[in-house]
Structure 1
Protein backbone atom coordinates (compact mmCIF):
# COMPACT_ATOMS: atom_id res chain seq x y z
CA UNK A 1 0.00 0.00 0.00
CA UNK A 2 1.26 3.48 -0.88
CA UNK A 3 2.04 5.73 2.04
CA UNK A 4 -0.78 8.22 2.61
CA UNK A 5 0.07 11.79 1.62
CA UNK A 6 -0.17 14.10 4.61
CA UNK A 7 0.52 17.84 4.35
CA UNK A 8 1.09 19.71 7.60
CA UNK A 9 0.71 23.49 7.78
CA UNK A 10 2.09 24.89 11.01
CA UNK A 11 4.81 26.17 13.24
CA UNK A 12 8.47 25.25 13.59
CA UNK A 13 10.31 26.20 16.78
CA UNK A 14 13.55 25.35 18.45
CA UNK A 15 12.57 23.87 21.80
CA UNK A 16 14.88 24.66 24.72
CA UNK A 17 13.89 21.99 27.25
CA UNK A 18 14.87 21.98 30.93
CA UNK A 19 14.05 19.11 33.29
CA UNK A 20 13.62 19.92 36.98
CA UNK A 21 12.18 18.20 40.07
CA UNK A 22 9.37 20.78 40.18
CA UNK A 23 8.15 23.61 37.97
CA UNK A 24 9.24 27.03 39.27
CA UNK A 25 6.65 29.32 40.80
CA UNK A 26 6.68 33.03 39.89
CA UNK A 27 9.94 34.57 41.15
CA UNK A 28 11.42 31.17 42.03
CA UNK A 29 14.62 29.59 40.68
CA UNK A 30 14.97 25.81 40.73
CA UNK A 31 17.98 23.67 39.81
CA UNK A 32 17.40 21.57 36.73
CA UNK A 33 18.59 18.03 36.06
CA UNK A 34 18.84 17.92 32.25
CA UNK A 35 18.77 20.24 29.23
CA UNK A 36 17.97 19.52 25.57
CA UNK A 37 17.58 21.50 22.34
CA UNK A 38 15.13 19.77 20.01
CA UNK A 39 13.09 20.62 16.95
CA UNK A 40 9.59 21.59 18.03
CA UNK A 41 6.50 23.62 17.32
CA UNK A 42 3.19 21.83 16.89
CA UNK A 43 3.56 21.85 13.12
CA UNK A 44 7.05 20.36 13.09
CA UNK A 45 6.11 17.83 15.75
CA UNK A 46 3.09 16.67 13.77
CA UNK A 47 5.06 16.53 10.53
CA UNK A 48 7.76 14.36 12.12
CA UNK A 49 5.15 12.25 13.90
CA UNK A 50 3.25 11.69 10.64
CA UNK A 51 6.41 10.55 8.85
CA UNK A 52 7.35 8.18 11.67
CA UNK A 53 3.81 6.81 11.78
CA UNK A 54 4.07 5.83 8.13
CA UNK A 55 2.82 8.86 6.23
CA UNK A 56 4.46 10.64 3.31
CA UNK A 57 4.66 13.97 5.14
CA UNK A 58 5.20 17.38 3.55
CA UNK A 59 5.68 20.37 5.85
CA UNK A 60 4.63 23.93 5.01
CA UNK A 61 6.27 26.33 7.47
CA UNK A 62 8.55 29.34 7.90
CA UNK A 63 11.91 29.34 9.68
CA UNK A 64 14.39 32.11 10.35
CA UNK A 65 17.77 32.81 8.78
CA UNK A 66 19.50 32.18 12.14
CA UNK A 67 21.39 29.09 13.26
CA UNK A 68 18.24 27.69 14.85
CA UNK A 69 16.57 27.75 11.42
CA UNK A 70 19.41 25.78 9.81
CA UNK A 71 19.26 23.18 12.56
CA UNK A 72 15.48 22.98 12.50
CA UNK A 73 15.29 22.24 8.79
CA UNK A 74 18.06 19.65 8.97
CA UNK A 75 16.48 17.80 11.89
CA UNK A 76 13.01 17.82 10.36
CA UNK A 77 14.37 16.53 7.04
CA UNK A 78 16.37 13.83 8.84
CA UNK A 79 13.09 12.52 10.25
CA UNK A 80 11.82 11.73 6.76
CA UNK A 81 9.73 14.85 6.18
CA UNK A 82 9.69 16.63 2.81
CA UNK A 83 11.03 20.09 3.69
CA UNK A 84 11.37 21.43 0.14
CA UNK A 85 8.56 23.95 0.64
CA UNK A 86 9.71 25.35 3.99
CA UNK A 87 10.25 29.11 3.72
CA UNK A 88 13.38 30.80 5.06
CA UNK A 89 12.80 34.41 6.12
CA UNK A 90 15.26 36.95 7.44
CA UNK A 91 15.39 37.11 11.23
CA UNK A 92 14.81 34.83 14.18
CA UNK A 93 13.21 31.42 14.13
CA UNK A 94 10.46 30.54 16.55
CA UNK A 95 11.65 29.46 20.00
CA UNK A 96 9.88 27.59 22.81
CA UNK A 97 11.12 27.58 26.40
CA UNK A 98 9.91 24.32 27.97
CA UNK A 99 10.18 23.32 31.63
CA UNK A 100 9.34 19.72 32.54
CA UNK A 101 8.69 18.54 36.10
CA UNK A 102 9.52 15.12 37.53
CA UNK A 103 5.99 13.78 37.06
CA UNK A 104 5.83 14.83 33.40
CA UNK A 105 3.90 18.09 33.81
CA UNK A 106 5.26 20.97 31.78
CA UNK A 107 5.01 24.68 31.05
CA UNK A 108 5.84 26.36 27.75
CA UNK A 109 6.55 29.92 26.59
CA UNK A 110 6.67 30.40 22.80
CA UNK A 111 8.04 33.35 20.83
CA UNK A 112 6.74 32.91 17.25
CA UNK A 113 9.59 34.55 15.31
CA UNK A 114 9.46 33.49 11.64
CA UNK A 115 6.19 31.60 12.12
CA UNK A 116 4.35 34.90 11.81
CA UNK A 117 5.67 35.20 8.24
CA UNK A 118 3.77 32.13 7.02
CA UNK A 119 1.14 34.13 5.15
CA UNK A 120 -0.42 34.10 1.66
CA UNK A 121 0.34 30.54 0.60
CA UNK A 122 1.98 30.25 -2.82
CA UNK A 123 0.64 28.20 -5.71
CA UNK A 124 3.26 25.52 -5.03
CA UNK A 125 2.17 25.31 -1.39
CA UNK A 126 -1.52 25.19 -2.32
CA UNK A 127 -0.82 22.53 -4.92
CA UNK A 128 0.74 20.32 -2.23
CA UNK A 129 -2.41 20.77 -0.14
CA UNK A 130 -4.69 19.85 -3.05
CA UNK A 131 -2.66 16.73 -3.87
CA UNK A 132 -2.69 15.42 -0.28
CA UNK A 133 -4.95 12.78 1.22
CA UNK A 134 -5.15 14.71 4.50
CA UNK A 135 -4.29 18.26 5.55
CA UNK A 136 -3.26 18.68 9.19
CA UNK A 137 -3.15 22.17 10.70
CA UNK A 138 -2.92 23.98 14.03
CA UNK A 139 -3.19 27.67 14.88
CA UNK A 140 0.33 28.57 16.02
CA UNK A 141 0.69 30.30 12.63
CA UNK A 142 -1.63 33.04 11.31
CA UNK A 143 -5.20 31.77 11.28
CA UNK A 144 -5.72 33.38 7.87
CA UNK A 145 -3.10 31.00 6.46
CA UNK A 146 -4.73 27.99 8.05
CA UNK A 147 -8.08 29.10 6.62
CA UNK A 148 -6.59 29.51 3.15
CA UNK A 149 -5.12 26.00 3.30
CA UNK A 150 -8.33 24.46 4.64
CA UNK A 151 -10.48 26.08 1.94
CA UNK A 152 -8.11 24.84 -0.77
CA UNK A 153 -8.20 21.36 0.73
CA UNK A 154 -11.99 21.32 0.95
CA UNK A 155 -12.31 22.42 -2.69
CA UNK A 156 -9.96 19.62 -3.80
CA UNK A 157 -11.52 16.86 -1.69
CA UNK A 158 -8.60 16.67 0.73
CA UNK A 159 -9.68 15.82 4.27
CA UNK A 160 -8.98 18.53 6.85
CA UNK A 161 -7.86 17.69 10.39
CA UNK A 162 -7.61 20.76 12.60
CA UNK A 163 -5.88 20.66 15.97
CA UNK A 164 -7.23 23.95 17.33
CA UNK A 165 -4.24 24.73 19.52
CA UNK A 166 -3.39 27.03 21.17
CA UNK A 167 -6.89 27.96 22.34
CA UNK A 168 -8.44 30.84 20.43
CA UNK A 169 -11.60 31.85 18.61
CA UNK A 170 -11.75 30.57 15.04
CA UNK A 171 -13.49 32.07 12.02
CA UNK A 172 -16.66 30.37 10.85
CA UNK A 173 -15.26 29.82 7.35
CA UNK A 174 -12.38 27.79 8.77
CA UNK A 175 -14.63 25.62 10.94
CA UNK A 176 -16.92 25.05 7.95
CA UNK A 177 -13.99 23.48 6.06
CA UNK A 178 -12.95 21.12 8.88
CA UNK A 179 -13.68 17.39 8.60
CA UNK A 180 -12.26 16.44 12.02
CA UNK A 181 -11.50 18.73 14.96
CA UNK A 182 -9.03 17.68 17.69
CA UNK A 183 -8.96 19.70 20.92
CA UNK A 184 -8.19 19.31 24.60
CA UNK A 185 -10.48 20.56 27.33
CA UNK A 186 -9.02 24.08 27.44
CA UNK A 187 -9.23 24.43 23.67
CA UNK A 188 -12.78 23.08 23.62
CA UNK A 189 -13.85 25.62 26.20
CA UNK A 190 -12.34 28.43 24.11
CA UNK A 191 -14.54 27.34 21.19
CA UNK A 192 -17.75 26.44 22.98
CA UNK A 193 -17.59 27.78 26.54
CA UNK A 194 -18.04 24.20 27.78
CA UNK A 195 -15.68 21.49 29.02
CA UNK A 196 -15.58 17.72 29.24
CA UNK A 197 -19.15 17.42 30.49
CA UNK A 198 -20.54 18.28 27.06
CA UNK A 199 -18.22 17.15 24.24
CA UNK A 200 -21.27 17.15 21.97
CA UNK A 201 -21.11 20.97 21.97
CA UNK A 202 -18.20 20.74 19.51
CA UNK A 203 -20.48 18.98 17.02
CA UNK A 204 -22.46 22.16 16.57
CA UNK A 205 -19.31 23.53 14.93
CA UNK A 206 -17.87 20.57 12.98
CA UNK A 207 -19.15 17.18 11.75
CA UNK A 208 -16.59 15.14 13.74
CA UNK A 209 -14.69 16.05 16.89
CA UNK A 210 -12.19 14.54 19.31
CA UNK A 211 -11.88 15.85 22.86
CA UNK A 212 -8.64 14.63 24.46
CA UNK A 213 -8.35 14.25 28.23
CA UNK A 214 -4.78 13.03 28.81
CA UNK A 215 -4.60 9.89 30.93
CA UNK A 216 -8.40 9.72 30.92
CA UNK A 217 -8.45 9.02 27.20
CA UNK A 218 -10.56 10.89 24.68
CA UNK A 219 -14.13 11.36 23.52
CA UNK A 220 -14.99 11.03 19.84
CA UNK A 221 -18.25 12.32 18.46
CA UNK A 222 -19.99 12.45 15.09
CA UNK A 223 -22.85 14.80 14.37
CA UNK A 224 -26.06 12.76 14.73
CA UNK A 225 -23.93 9.71 15.54
CA UNK A 226 -23.37 9.80 19.28
CA UNK A 227 -20.19 9.94 21.37
CA UNK A 228 -17.63 7.17 22.01
CA UNK A 229 -15.01 7.05 24.77
CA UNK A 230 -11.48 6.02 23.72
CA UNK A 231 -9.52 4.79 26.78
CA UNK A 232 -5.92 5.83 27.29
CA UNK A 233 -3.04 3.36 27.18
CA UNK A 234 -1.37 3.04 30.57
CA UNK A 235 2.35 3.91 30.52
CA UNK A 236 4.92 5.41 32.86
CA UNK A 237 4.88 9.09 31.88
CA UNK A 238 8.26 10.84 31.65
CA UNK A 239 7.27 13.91 29.60
CA UNK A 240 3.85 14.60 28.10
CA UNK A 241 5.24 17.29 25.75
CA UNK A 242 4.43 16.28 22.18
CA UNK A 243 2.03 13.46 23.11
CA UNK A 244 -0.92 15.38 21.69
CA UNK A 245 0.99 16.01 18.48
CA UNK A 246 1.84 12.31 18.16
CA UNK A 247 -1.84 11.53 18.68
CA UNK A 248 -3.08 14.00 16.04
CA UNK A 249 -0.53 12.97 13.42
CA UNK A 250 -1.07 9.24 13.91
CA UNK A 251 -4.82 9.79 13.70
CA UNK A 252 -4.43 11.60 10.37
CA UNK A 253 -2.20 8.85 8.96
CA UNK A 254 -4.50 6.04 10.08
CA UNK A 255 -7.59 7.81 8.73
CA UNK A 256 -5.85 8.42 5.40
CA UNK A 257 -4.99 4.70 5.26
CA UNK A 258 -8.70 3.91 5.37
CA UNK A 259 -9.13 2.80 8.98
CA UNK A 260 -12.47 3.40 10.62
CA UNK A 261 -12.16 6.48 12.81
CA UNK A 262 -12.72 4.70 16.13
CA UNK A 263 -9.97 2.21 15.30
CA UNK A 264 -7.75 5.06 14.05
CA UNK A 265 -8.33 6.86 17.36
CA UNK A 266 -7.28 3.84 19.39
CA UNK A 267 -4.09 3.56 17.34
CA UNK A 268 -3.50 7.30 17.76
CA UNK A 269 -3.97 6.91 21.51
CA UNK A 270 -1.16 4.34 21.49
CA UNK A 271 1.03 6.85 19.63
CA UNK A 272 0.41 9.54 22.22
CA UNK A 273 1.14 7.15 25.09
CA UNK A 274 4.34 5.91 23.45
CA UNK A 275 5.53 9.50 23.05
CA UNK A 276 4.97 10.28 26.73
CA UNK A 277 7.42 7.58 27.80
CA UNK A 278 10.44 9.66 26.79
CA UNK A 279 11.84 13.16 27.36
CA UNK A 280 11.49 15.84 24.68
CA UNK A 281 8.93 16.53 21.99
CA UNK A 282 10.13 15.64 18.48
CA UNK A 283 12.85 13.26 19.69
CA UNK A 284 10.27 11.21 21.60
CA UNK A 285 7.77 10.86 18.74
CA UNK A 286 7.31 7.13 18.12
CA UNK A 287 8.05 5.04 15.06
CA UNK A 288 5.22 3.02 13.53
CA UNK A 289 6.60 -0.25 14.92
CA UNK A 290 6.49 1.16 18.46
CA UNK A 291 2.90 2.35 18.01
CA UNK A 292 1.87 -1.04 16.65
CA UNK A 293 3.53 -2.88 19.54
CA UNK A 294 1.78 -0.80 22.22
CA UNK A 295 -1.52 -0.93 20.34
CA UNK A 296 -1.42 -4.72 20.03
CA UNK A 297 -0.38 -5.16 23.66
CA UNK A 298 -3.32 -3.10 24.83
CA UNK A 299 -6.02 -4.66 22.67
Structure 2
Protein backbone atom coordinates (compact mmCIF):
# COMPACT_ATOMS: atom_id res chain seq x y z
CA UNK A 1 0.00 0.00 0.00
CA UNK A 2 1.30 3.48 -0.88
CA UNK A 3 1.68 5.99 1.93
CA UNK A 4 -0.81 8.62 3.00
CA UNK A 5 0.27 12.13 3.95
CA UNK A 6 -1.64 14.19 6.50
CA UNK A 7 -0.96 17.92 6.67
CA UNK A 8 -2.69 19.60 9.58
CA UNK A 9 -3.07 20.25 13.27
CA UNK A 10 -1.59 18.53 16.31
CA UNK A 11 -3.26 19.48 19.61
CA UNK A 12 -3.39 18.56 23.23
CA UNK A 13 -7.05 18.09 24.13
CA UNK A 14 -8.07 19.12 27.65
CA UNK A 15 -11.27 17.11 28.08
CA UNK A 16 -13.81 17.82 30.80
CA UNK A 17 -16.85 15.57 31.35
CA UNK A 18 -20.04 17.23 32.61
CA UNK A 19 -23.67 16.27 33.15
CA UNK A 20 -24.81 19.05 30.85
CA UNK A 21 -23.24 22.10 29.24
CA UNK A 22 -23.15 25.24 31.42
CA UNK A 23 -25.42 28.21 30.74
CA UNK A 24 -23.82 31.65 30.23
CA UNK A 25 -22.38 32.77 33.57
CA UNK A 26 -23.00 29.40 35.20
CA UNK A 27 -20.34 27.46 37.14
CA UNK A 28 -20.68 23.67 37.11
CA UNK A 29 -18.62 20.72 38.34
CA UNK A 30 -16.74 18.34 36.07
CA UNK A 31 -16.92 14.64 36.85
CA UNK A 32 -13.56 13.98 35.17
CA UNK A 33 -10.75 15.81 33.37
CA UNK A 34 -8.05 14.37 31.10
CA UNK A 35 -5.20 15.47 28.82
CA UNK A 36 -5.60 13.55 25.54
CA UNK A 37 -3.55 13.96 22.32
CA UNK A 38 -5.75 15.25 19.51
CA UNK A 39 -5.98 17.78 16.67
CA UNK A 40 -7.93 17.05 13.48
CA UNK A 41 -4.80 16.39 11.46
CA UNK A 42 -3.21 14.13 14.06
CA UNK A 43 -6.51 12.31 14.67
CA UNK A 44 -6.92 11.56 10.97
CA UNK A 45 -3.32 10.38 10.75
CA UNK A 46 -3.79 8.02 13.71
CA UNK A 47 -7.07 6.73 12.25
CA UNK A 48 -5.41 6.01 8.90
CA UNK A 49 -2.39 4.33 10.50
CA UNK A 50 -4.50 2.19 12.85
CA UNK A 51 -6.66 1.21 9.87
CA UNK A 52 -3.54 -0.19 8.20
CA UNK A 53 -2.11 2.58 6.02
CA UNK A 54 1.51 3.79 6.12
CA UNK A 55 0.97 7.39 7.22
CA UNK A 56 3.20 10.46 7.55
CA UNK A 57 2.12 13.43 9.69
CA UNK A 58 3.24 16.94 8.69
CA UNK A 59 2.47 19.58 11.31
CA UNK A 60 3.94 21.50 14.23
CA UNK A 61 4.04 21.49 18.01
CA UNK A 62 5.47 23.98 20.48
CA UNK A 63 8.60 23.85 22.62
CA UNK A 64 6.44 23.18 25.68
CA UNK A 65 6.26 19.73 27.37
CA UNK A 66 3.04 18.98 25.45
CA UNK A 67 5.09 18.93 22.24
CA UNK A 68 7.13 15.92 23.35
CA UNK A 69 4.01 14.08 24.47
CA UNK A 70 2.18 14.75 21.20
CA UNK A 71 5.02 13.55 18.98
CA UNK A 72 5.52 10.44 21.14
CA UNK A 73 1.81 9.65 20.97
CA UNK A 74 1.80 9.79 17.17
CA UNK A 75 4.81 7.49 16.95
CA UNK A 76 3.34 5.02 19.43
CA UNK A 77 0.20 4.77 17.32
CA UNK A 78 2.10 3.92 14.14
CA UNK A 79 2.33 7.36 12.52
CA UNK A 80 5.62 8.57 11.02
CA UNK A 81 6.08 11.80 13.02
CA UNK A 82 9.56 12.79 11.83
CA UNK A 83 8.07 15.68 9.80
CA UNK A 84 6.33 17.27 12.80
CA UNK A 85 8.18 20.56 13.36
CA UNK A 86 8.96 22.31 16.64
CA UNK A 87 7.95 25.98 16.85
CA UNK A 88 8.52 28.72 19.42
CA UNK A 89 5.71 29.04 21.96
CA UNK A 90 3.01 26.59 22.93
CA UNK A 91 1.48 23.61 21.20
CA UNK A 92 -2.10 23.78 19.97
CA UNK A 93 -4.67 23.22 22.70
CA UNK A 94 -8.35 22.25 22.46
CA UNK A 95 -10.62 22.76 25.46
CA UNK A 96 -13.33 20.11 25.08
CA UNK A 97 -16.44 19.72 27.20
CA UNK A 98 -18.32 16.43 26.84
CA UNK A 99 -21.92 16.02 28.09
CA UNK A 100 -23.54 12.84 29.42
CA UNK A 101 -25.21 12.41 26.00
CA UNK A 102 -21.77 12.20 24.36
CA UNK A 103 -22.03 15.57 22.60
CA UNK A 104 -19.13 18.02 22.78
CA UNK A 105 -18.21 21.71 22.68
CA UNK A 106 -14.69 22.67 21.59
CA UNK A 107 -12.59 25.84 21.94
CA UNK A 108 -9.34 25.86 19.95
CA UNK A 109 -6.08 27.70 20.62
CA UNK A 110 -3.95 27.29 17.48
CA UNK A 111 -0.52 27.61 19.10
CA UNK A 112 2.15 26.10 16.84
CA UNK A 113 -0.48 25.04 14.30
CA UNK A 114 -0.94 28.69 13.39
CA UNK A 115 2.74 29.05 12.52
CA UNK A 116 2.98 26.44 9.75
CA UNK A 117 4.06 28.12 6.50
CA UNK A 118 4.37 27.22 2.82
CA UNK A 119 8.14 27.21 3.34
CA UNK A 120 7.75 24.63 6.10
CA UNK A 121 5.86 22.34 3.74
CA UNK A 122 8.49 22.75 1.03
CA UNK A 123 11.18 21.69 3.52
CA UNK A 124 9.52 18.52 4.84
CA UNK A 125 6.83 17.17 2.47
CA UNK A 126 7.97 14.19 0.39
CA UNK A 127 5.38 13.68 -2.35
CA UNK A 128 7.14 10.69 -3.93
CA UNK A 129 5.36 7.43 -3.12
CA UNK A 130 2.27 9.19 -1.73
CA UNK A 131 -1.14 8.15 -3.04
CA UNK A 132 -3.16 10.80 -1.21
CA UNK A 133 -2.94 13.74 1.18
CA UNK A 134 -5.47 14.61 3.88
CA UNK A 135 -6.03 18.24 4.87
CA UNK A 136 -8.35 20.11 7.25
CA UNK A 137 -8.76 23.73 8.37
CA UNK A 138 -6.80 24.06 11.63
CA UNK A 139 -3.59 25.47 10.12
CA UNK A 140 -3.26 28.74 8.14
CA UNK A 141 -5.51 28.69 5.09
CA UNK A 142 -2.76 29.91 2.76
CA UNK A 143 -0.63 26.92 3.77
CA UNK A 144 -3.48 24.49 3.13
CA UNK A 145 -4.14 26.02 -0.28
CA UNK A 146 -0.43 25.75 -1.17
CA UNK A 147 -0.49 22.07 -0.20
CA UNK A 148 -3.54 21.45 -2.39
CA UNK A 149 -1.86 23.10 -5.37
CA UNK A 150 1.32 21.07 -4.84
CA UNK A 151 -0.66 17.83 -4.58
CA UNK A 152 -2.39 18.61 -7.88
CA UNK A 153 0.96 19.29 -9.57
CA UNK A 154 2.40 16.03 -8.21
CA UNK A 155 -0.63 13.94 -9.16
CA UNK A 156 -1.44 13.09 -5.53
CA UNK A 157 -5.12 12.74 -4.60
CA UNK A 158 -6.30 15.41 -2.16
CA UNK A 159 -8.94 14.86 0.54
CA UNK A 160 -10.14 18.07 2.20
CA UNK A 161 -12.22 18.28 5.36
CA UNK A 162 -12.77 22.06 5.80
CA UNK A 163 -13.26 21.99 9.57
CA UNK A 164 -13.74 24.31 11.33
CA UNK A 165 -16.15 25.27 8.55
CA UNK A 166 -15.42 28.12 6.17
CA UNK A 167 -16.48 29.25 2.71
CA UNK A 168 -14.14 27.93 0.02
CA UNK A 169 -12.79 29.89 -2.97
CA UNK A 170 -14.14 28.58 -6.27
CA UNK A 171 -10.66 27.78 -7.63
CA UNK A 172 -10.17 25.23 -4.86
CA UNK A 173 -12.78 22.68 -5.95
CA UNK A 174 -10.88 21.59 -9.05
CA UNK A 175 -7.92 20.72 -6.81
CA UNK A 176 -9.92 18.19 -4.82
CA UNK A 177 -10.28 14.49 -5.34
CA UNK A 178 -12.65 14.25 -2.37
CA UNK A 179 -14.41 16.93 -0.34
CA UNK A 180 -15.58 15.53 3.01
CA UNK A 181 -18.05 17.60 5.07
CA UNK A 182 -20.58 17.08 7.84
CA UNK A 183 -23.98 18.77 7.89
CA UNK A 184 -22.68 22.02 9.40
CA UNK A 185 -19.68 22.23 7.08
CA UNK A 186 -21.82 21.40 4.04
CA UNK A 187 -24.15 24.29 4.85
CA UNK A 188 -21.26 26.76 5.14
CA UNK A 189 -19.49 25.53 2.00
CA UNK A 190 -22.51 25.07 -0.28
CA UNK A 191 -25.26 27.18 1.26
CA UNK A 192 -27.52 24.11 1.41
CA UNK A 193 -29.12 23.26 4.77
CA UNK A 194 -28.37 19.55 5.11
CA UNK A 195 -30.79 17.51 7.23
CA UNK A 196 -31.10 14.19 5.36
CA UNK A 197 -29.80 12.17 2.40
CA UNK A 198 -31.80 14.19 -0.13
CA UNK A 199 -30.39 17.55 0.99
CA UNK A 200 -26.93 15.97 1.26
CA UNK A 201 -27.23 15.01 -2.41
CA UNK A 202 -28.18 18.60 -3.29
CA UNK A 203 -25.12 19.91 -1.42
CA UNK A 204 -22.86 17.32 -3.05
CA UNK A 205 -24.13 18.20 -6.51
CA UNK A 206 -23.37 21.87 -5.83
CA UNK A 207 -19.72 21.03 -4.99
CA UNK A 208 -19.41 18.69 -7.98
CA UNK A 209 -20.64 21.47 -10.27
CA UNK A 210 -17.85 23.67 -8.89
CA UNK A 211 -15.23 21.10 -9.93
CA UNK A 212 -14.74 18.61 -7.08
CA UNK A 213 -14.18 15.04 -8.29
CA UNK A 214 -16.20 13.49 -5.46
CA UNK A 215 -18.01 14.53 -2.29
CA UNK A 216 -18.84 12.75 0.95
CA UNK A 217 -21.42 14.29 3.30
CA UNK A 218 -21.49 12.69 6.74
CA UNK A 219 -24.85 12.74 8.50
CA UNK A 220 -24.18 11.47 12.01
CA UNK A 221 -26.83 8.91 12.98
CA UNK A 222 -28.17 8.98 9.40
CA UNK A 223 -24.90 7.66 7.95
CA UNK A 224 -23.28 9.31 4.93
CA UNK A 225 -23.84 10.13 1.27
CA UNK A 226 -21.28 9.87 -1.56
CA UNK A 227 -21.41 11.33 -5.06
CA UNK A 228 -18.83 11.55 -7.83
CA UNK A 229 -18.45 13.60 -11.00
CA UNK A 230 -18.74 10.33 -12.95
CA UNK A 231 -22.30 9.89 -11.69
CA UNK A 232 -21.77 7.38 -8.87
CA UNK A 233 -24.11 7.67 -5.89
CA UNK A 234 -24.09 5.79 -2.58
CA UNK A 235 -25.92 6.22 0.71
CA UNK A 236 -24.47 4.23 3.63
CA UNK A 237 -26.31 3.81 6.91
CA UNK A 238 -24.66 4.41 10.27
CA UNK A 239 -24.20 1.52 12.70
CA UNK A 240 -26.40 1.74 15.79
CA UNK A 241 -24.31 2.06 18.96
CA UNK A 242 -24.62 3.82 22.32
CA UNK A 243 -22.33 6.88 22.11
CA UNK A 244 -20.32 8.10 25.09
CA UNK A 245 -18.12 10.70 23.36
CA UNK A 246 -18.36 11.91 19.76
CA UNK A 247 -14.95 13.63 19.81
CA UNK A 248 -12.88 12.56 16.76
CA UNK A 249 -15.69 10.49 15.23
CA UNK A 250 -15.50 12.47 11.99
CA UNK A 251 -11.71 12.30 11.94
CA UNK A 252 -11.85 8.54 12.50
CA UNK A 253 -14.26 8.18 9.57
CA UNK A 254 -12.00 10.22 7.27
CA UNK A 255 -8.76 8.46 8.20
CA UNK A 256 -10.32 5.01 7.95
CA UNK A 257 -11.94 5.86 4.60
CA UNK A 258 -8.63 7.11 3.18
CA UNK A 259 -6.83 3.98 4.40
CA UNK A 260 -9.47 1.67 2.95
CA UNK A 261 -9.37 3.53 -0.38
CA UNK A 262 -5.57 3.31 -0.45
CA UNK A 263 -5.89 -0.43 0.17
CA UNK A 264 -8.00 -0.78 -2.97
CA UNK A 265 -11.47 -1.20 -1.49
CA UNK A 266 -14.35 -0.11 -3.70
CA UNK A 267 -15.95 3.17 -2.66
CA UNK A 268 -19.04 1.73 -0.97
CA UNK A 269 -16.96 -0.88 0.88
CA UNK A 270 -14.58 1.85 2.05
CA UNK A 271 -17.53 3.92 3.29
CA UNK A 272 -18.91 0.98 5.28
CA UNK A 273 -15.45 0.33 6.75
CA UNK A 274 -15.18 4.01 7.74
CA UNK A 275 -18.68 4.02 9.24
CA UNK A 276 -17.74 1.02 11.38
CA UNK A 277 -14.57 2.74 12.57
CA UNK A 278 -16.54 5.86 13.54
CA UNK A 279 -19.17 3.78 15.33
CA UNK A 280 -16.51 2.13 17.47
CA UNK A 281 -14.87 5.50 18.20
CA UNK A 282 -18.01 7.05 19.68
CA UNK A 283 -18.33 4.22 22.20
CA UNK A 284 -15.01 5.25 23.77
CA UNK A 285 -13.75 8.39 25.49
CA UNK A 286 -11.14 10.76 24.07
CA UNK A 287 -9.81 11.61 20.64
CA UNK A 288 -6.90 9.41 19.55
CA UNK A 289 -7.52 7.08 22.48
CA UNK A 290 -10.93 6.20 21.00
CA UNK A 291 -9.72 5.25 17.50
CA UNK A 292 -9.98 1.51 16.69
CA UNK A 293 -7.43 -0.53 14.74
CA UNK A 294 -8.06 -2.53 11.57
CA UNK A 295 -8.61 -5.83 13.41
CA UNK A 296 -11.23 -4.24 15.67
CA UNK A 297 -13.05 -2.70 12.70
CA UNK A 298 -13.07 -5.98 10.80
CA UNK A 299 -14.30 -7.87 13.87
CA UNK A 300 -17.09 -5.32 14.36
CA UNK A 301 -18.17 -5.70 10.73
CA UNK A 302 -18.07 -9.47 10.97
CA UNK A 303 -20.37 -9.35 14.01
CA UNK A 304 -23.09 -7.28 12.33
Indicate the TM-score class for this superposition, using the shorter chain for normalisation.
over 0.9
Hey, what's the Cα distance between the residues in 1 that align with 2:189 and 2:128?
27
1:3-46 Cα deviation digits (max 9, x unpaired): 43110000011000011111112111221111110111100111
The aligned residue for residue 286 of structure 1 is: 292
Deviation at 1:218, TM superposition (A): 0.7
Deviation at 1:134, TM superposition (A): 1.1
Q: TM-score, normalising length from structure 2? A: 0.93
Q: TM-score, normalising length from structure 1? A: 0.95
The aligned residue for residue 211 of structure 1 is: 217
Residue 54 of structure 2, aligned match among 53, 56, 59: 56
Query: More deviation in 21-30 or 44-53?
Result: 21-30
The aligned residue for residue 201 of structure 1 is: 206
Does residue 125 of structure 1 match 2:131? no
Deviation at 1:175, TM superposition (A): 2.2
- 8 Å contact kept, 2:121–2:147: no
1:186-230 Cα deviation digits (max 9, x unpaired): 111111110222232232231210111111101111125153211
Q: CA separation of 1:195/1:80 partners in 2, compared to 1, >3 Å: closer, same or farther?
A: same
Q: CA separation of 1:4/1:273 partners in 2, compared to 1, >3 Å: closer, same or farther?
A: farther
Matched position secondary structure for 1:219: strand
Query: More deviation in 60-69 or 226-235?
Result: 226-235
Hey, what's the Cα distance between the residues in 2 that align with 1:18 and 1:129?
39
- 8 Å contact kept, 2:250–2:278: yes
1:169-193 Cα deviation digits (max 9, x unpaired): 2233332211011001111111111
Hey, what's the Cα distance between the residues in 2 that align with 1:289 and 1:151?
35
1:268-292 Cα deviation digits (max 9, x unpaired): 0111111001010111011111111
Hey, what's the Cα distance between the residues in 2 that align with 1:166 and 1:56?
26
- 8 Å contact kept, 2:173–2:207: no
- The runs of at least 4 consecutive aligned structure 1 residues that moved more than 6 Å come to none
* Root mean square deviation, CA, Å: 1.3
Residue 19 of structure 1, aligned match among 17, 20, 39: 17
The aligned residue for residue 106 of structure 1 is: 104
Deviation at 1:47, TM superposition (A): 0.9
Does residue 254 of structure 1 match 2:260? yes
The aligned residue for residue 226 of structure 2 is: 220
Deviation at 1:261, TM superposition (A): 1.1
Structure 2: gaps of 5 or more residues: none
Count of paired positions:
295
Deviation at 1:143, TM superposition (A): 1.5
Q: Pairwise mapping of residues 146-295 of structure 1 onto structure 2 (< 5 A)?
A: 146-196=144-194, 197=199, 198-199=202-203, 200-205=205-210, 206-295=212-301
- 8 Å contact kept, 1:8–1:59: yes
1:29-76 Cα deviation digits (max 9, x unpaired): 221111110111100111111111101110000110111111111111
